[in-house]
Structure 1
């Protein structure tokens, strides 16, 4: 179980509507939503990995400590939610280093996992794996083997593997159906699919692949009361706001249906 801890205005779909200068002036929702998730996880006996945006961690250090103290894994989502494909190698290194240092200093423990914003590591920036290895990460979950307008590495491995750079990559799960790789890892797809279908796809994946399954989502996905971004493209708004009012109930059912733990424990990252 993984949570990408960012607020509604951090998402790549709204990057043209909000700048870094806007962030401090906007209604803040991530702290409340994340605590709501922590309480839900506690009630279900669920442990997970929280890929935390450095900008959020700096703003809410107690939230970081509480995530760690409740037995969850703290991992890095970078600092400013800038897609890795839009950064130079040095910009990427500084962004990730700032996040990692703050997370570790706040919780007093090593951070070994990283997830790129919008799964933005692909053929154009494989050097990112070298940087992550140099910074001391042991694994990443930064690729999604599907075709998408914002991300996607459909020809890359679908399961956990060790990169030539010496770091483990754990792709977001996909299911092969009719010769195509269907996205089943969570996020907007989980809100789009009917609940029975989402469960059926996960069940088929576990039976067919005999591999661990991982799920991702964001705190803003359980928040139907969040401010609406009216000037974004229709497709972006459709993806972002679809079924937000149903997400917490669906998530609760998902937590009951399967046994969940952290990335480092499920995938045995040493």
Structure 2
């Protein structure tokens, strides 16, 4: 009887092991790539999957979005400036069959491709473009990586450049360049203001020249503005013709 029970226990254990190897449960975001005697026979899931023990094998594939931190890369820009750049890439598997059959490790392959693409793309741009046109660079890198990972069944959703680290001496040089640029703009604005003021003065002079009495009124208006400050002493010339009119019996000197 003891021998009979041991046989039943062995059979029960074998049956449990057989069922555990034959029954698989895949979550909603998982797919199973099934191989029968080493040959690809289909993609199954999600839910309950029944496999033929020993004959069939299954490889799970996660369809959720992966976030890959691209390590800091040494990049030499087109204007020969050495910088360190790191980024983050968001991608997911859209074809489980190609992700398993066409590449050994799609995670490592995507990471290495992102590193090389980051160096090659940024090396074609100057430092100012790296700092000012980051959105365009992100789009260019994402497009290149996505086109090359398409054969692996990978969809690259987004690429973001995180940091552009610059040497301390280069930071000082950029600060001096920015200061010089601000001075240049200030001088240009000042010169444009002087030019506009000169044009307005010419127009005002032309209008005043049409009526001599208008010049006298403008002259008295300027004196009135100066007289507002009581601490000032005002000395102004009086035309000879006005003095002749104010002094009886005297005529203004004739012009030679």
TM-score norm. by structure 2 comes to: 0.18
Determine which structure has the larger helix proportion and give its number: 2
Determine which structure has the larger strand proportion and give its number: 2
TM-score norm. by structure 1 comes to: 0.17
Larger RCO, structures 1/2 (Cα 8 Å, 6+ apart): 1
